[in-house]
Amino acid sequence: MNSYSANSTASMLSSSTDTFEVQRSTKAGMITLIISIVLLGLSISMPFWAGSSYLRLFTELACYMAMAQMWNLLGGYGGLVSIGQQAFIGIGGYSLFVWANFVGVDPFTSVALGGIIAALFAVPISQLVFRLPGGAFAIGTWAIAEVLRLVVANTYVLGGGSGASLTALRGIDRATRESVTFWIAVAAAFGSVLLVYMLLRSRFGLALTAIRDSEVASRSQGIDVKKIKFLVYVISSFGFGIAGALYFLANIRISPDAAFGISWSPLIIFMVIIGGAGTIEGPLIGAILFFVLSKIFEDYGTWYLASLGLLAVIVTIWFPKGLWGLVVDHFDLRLFPVQRRLRMPENK
């Protein structure tokens, strides 16, 4: 469909009998859908045939996938480069502990509450950080995460600096805990992709993509850029809250440093940049790549982290659109059909 000749004439007033159709699905998209359903089925059945070490590994990967997808929504599309989303990982994680340990809500339900609490926190936090321009916004988000870390570390009931254990899990047998945690992870991984996909296919998605490409032009095309960014921030924080709660549900223990630590941000941003920001496929690839690399090389300590940094530098210099950008440039392949294409009458 991309093979039209480059010459055209001005005011080419075609006859009104021509019928154009707007296409919102592609063959690759159908294949993705089928593969996704198969993968989803396989994933859901995993607790019945896979060992618990695999379940734990995939739960971790699912957290990364959801976080990368949510950071991409925020930074890749919304242009909001935050280095403080660990604030919402921490809020989600700690609210899981509060709801489950203190209030007595079922720990699995508390994961969803973690997302909601994170979204609620995002409303006032956004009012603070949105006043900061460019780089100051990034630093501001980090500062807020640090403030939260210090507040929690100094709150005795939350376990202070040494953290707390998820005692609410005591009455639940190990197999149930591991399976349900894993299923929540599957829901988070697939759900985050589905959420971004649905958003991008809606009218909201047009605005998001437009803002990604040019904020000035977006405004002059009638888009309320501030409102869209606010919504993106809240949605992304909700996702981070869920992912954070899930991560610490799987870990059973939480501490302020683990929950609100700055080390989250570079890893998540690494995944998005390596895979390709501003696409759905990029963060997925980035999360899987990071996960695989970390499992193979994490014993190498400093050298491992230095190599990740080097890889990120190489990709940003030579492949600024990320690994997925390479695929798109060479094969014009899109697994998630979020484009609107016009089908020309003569093609029928």
**CB contact at 8 A, 131 and 246:** no
Interface with another protein, residue 22, by CB under 8 A: yes
Interface with another protein, residue 56, by CB under 8 A: no
Interface with another protein, residue 341, by CB under 8 A: yes
Give the Cα separation of 272 and 234 in Å (integer): 19
Shortest separation between residue 281's beta carbon and another protein, angstroms: 14
Taking the least distance from each CB to another protein, the nearer of 56 and 212 is: 212
**CB contact at 8 A, 166 and 252:** yes
Shortest separation between residue 11's beta carbon and another protein, angstroms: 6
- Binding to another protein (CB under 8 A) within 121-150 occurs at none
Site for another protein (CB under 8 A): which residue of 224, 298, 306, 329? 224
Shortest separation between residue 26's beta carbon and another protein, angstroms: 12
From 43-51, 155-163, 286-294, 338-346, span contacting another protein (CB under 8 A): 338-346
Angle value at C-alpha 302, between 84 and 276, nearest 5 degrees: 50
Taking the least distance from each CB to another protein, the nearer of 106 and 213 is: 213
Give the Cα separation of 55 and 40 in Å (integer): 14
Q: Which residue from 348, 251, 283, 344 is spatially nearest to 4, judged by alpha carbons? A: 344
Angle value at C-alpha 212, between 305 and 129, nearest 5 degrees: 70
The residue with tokens 């190498």 is 300
Tokens of 112: 């969803």
Site for another protein (CB under 8 A): which residue of 148, 169, 207, 249? 207
Q: How many CB atoms lie within 10 A of CB 210?
A: 18
Taking the least distance from each CB to another protein, the nearer of 21 and 106 is: 21
Taking the least distance from each CB to another protein, the nearer of 141 and 218 is: 218
- Number of residues in the chain: 348
Give the Cα separation of 226 and 120 in Å (integer): 18
Give the distance from CA 227 to its chain's centroid.
Answer: 20
Site for another protein (CB under 8 A): which residue of 36, 46, 219, 289? 219
Shortest separation between residue 46's beta carbon and another protein, angstroms: 36
Taking the least distance from each CB to another protein, the nearer of 211 and 246 is: 211
Angle value at C-alpha 121, between 117 and 127, nearest 5 degrees: 155
Site for another protein (CB under 8 A): which residue of 116, 212, 261, 297? 212
Name the residues that contact another protein, by CB under 8 A.
1-2, 4-6, 8-14, 20, 22, 203, 206-207, 209-210, 212-214, 216-225, 278, 339-342, 344
